[in-house]
Chains A and B, each alone.
Chain A
């Protein structure tokens, strides 16, 4: 069983490391969004906020075919966005604006993908066709599940060694670290890999759809019923206050909060308001509902979910952890850090174990060099890329064309650059320099943020702005961890393998 664990872990290992690293960051997706859009502040959906949205849209696009309003959640700085789409054949343009939730005035928010990119990258990757990357991610996740289960079997003394972590013993310590990070967060690892496979269910097993539907699109059309459509009546009628409509929706949902509102034919007698709920319950969210904008009558509610869909919703909810409060979100994050470390320690262990057995340690064979180089370039390179992504968010000019794309490009340029640099250096120096670069880059993030925005660490601590303070503190903690790792590698003196040490003198005398 040991060979199975070794190869199911090693072959997709670097991809799994990336998935875990970015996925772990994605637990704080909304918080990262907030930090990367420092123009935004936390706001709740109040009657006033909805009135402002209405006033703005009514002035800007009174004859639009559709208005849309994306609501803030109150817990995090989220954009309060309104958009409008003109009627077909009209000369006016579609548009979008981010509003200040207090003044109702338009504010300029920098162009960024924010935490959403980190989230998307953890299953879609980037620059490559989604179809193939999702398949690669699915296969890697399947291998991870096999690796995890075979790892439990290989480990054998899972309970006897439960509390065991021995430092300073070379290979033994790496094995202990791999075991401890795997076993202590084992429920999390099993859950996250299994439910991760569920989220990509139809990538791996598309046949349930292809056996019953003419196309994938037809399946999704039936899954997410389009709901009723309303033709404009051509008669003017005032829209009910939006707050009354969202109150009504919350009553139908038994308390769930509204997340997104679309208003078809605003100002017309046939105005229809569609309201989506916030997806933050462990059991998944109720369906969207359709109300008449003039009378408030319920036109249509999405049908009750079937048992299979409900099960899928719960699994996806547990995977993403969107329902969790601050404490549980941190537990998700820390367990994710454990998983990332489990994969990294496993990859490093492969080389540690084989280095002792190298015939000529100065010139290892190709496979060994390949894996060692990939380890350095991915394990120390990817985190550096993320730090540069955050730095680019603060440093790129605000009016740059394709700014959001360039933030993402910066991530990969930095990562690629560091990777190439490490290839040119001896392995141990490469580890030290790449980890030191990570430490430096992460330490720079709060400094650059304080210099380029008005929301630096000191100010956010004073203002008790926990999203910003927390983000900056996590950056500093990451910098400290990378610096510690670099220092540990630098001060590590490998114990000469006892066998070789004793053999060399005999060879010399012989």
Chain B
């Protein structure tokens, strides 16, 4: 349960961080978002990662939680990168 929560929060966090970068906004939206939206995305992304750490620490204890947090961060980032790499295929599915 705690594992799922850490993973989902990290996933949301990295997705927000990805979309906060102007070069990737082009990839996903075909245009750049405003600077304010970008900053909001970056802050909420970092907040989600911090929240994931808090969930891990309170759920597992801070020692075990910290190790688990790093592990889930890696998995979440791998998933975001995989999705990003295959974005054209994903976008085609969405449009259809």
Contact = CB atoms under 8 A, between A and B. Distances in A.
A328 B71 contact: yes
A139 B24 CA distance: 41
B74 A331 contact: yes
Contact of B70 (A167, A180, A188, A338): A188
Nearest to B62: A282
B68 A327 contact: yes
Given A282-B64, A283-B63, A188 B18 contact: no
A167 B82 CA distance: 11
A282 B68 CA distance: 12
B14 to A, nearest CB: 8
B77 interface: yes
B67 interface: yes
A167 B3 contact: no
Contacts of A324: 64, 67
B85 interface: yes
B47 interface: no
A282 B67 contact: yes
Contacts of B68: 327-328, 331
Contacts of B63: 282-283, 314
A187 B70 contact: yes
Contacts of A142: none
B81 to A, nearest CB: 5
Interface string A308-340: 000000100010010110011001101100100
B73 interface: yes
Nearest to A184: B77
B84 interface: yes
A160 B17 CA distance: 11
Contacts of A160: 21, 23
Interface string B65-83: 0011011111101101110
B31 to A, nearest CB: 18
Task: Find the residue from B18, B21, B70 having the highest chain A CB count within 10 A.
Answer: B70
28 contacts: A160-B23, A162-B17, A163-B21, A163-B24, A163-B77, A163-B81, A163-B84, A164-B81, A165-B84, A185-B74, A187-B70, A187-B74, A188-B71, A188-B74, A191-B70, A282-B64, A314-B63, A321-B67, A323-B64, A324-B64, A324-B67, A327-B68, A328-B68, A331-B71, A331-B72, A331-B75, A334-B74, A335-B71
Interface of B: 3, 14, 17-18, 21, 23-24, 63-64, 67-68, 70-75, 77-78, 80-82, 84-85
Interface of A: 160, 162-167, 180, 184-185, 187-188, 191, 282-283, 314, 318, 321, 323-324, 327-328, 331-332, 334-335, 338
List the 8 shortest-distance A-B pairs measured between CB atoms, nearest first.
A331-B71, A187-B70, A184-B77, A327-B3, A165-B85, A282-B63, A185-B74, A163-B18
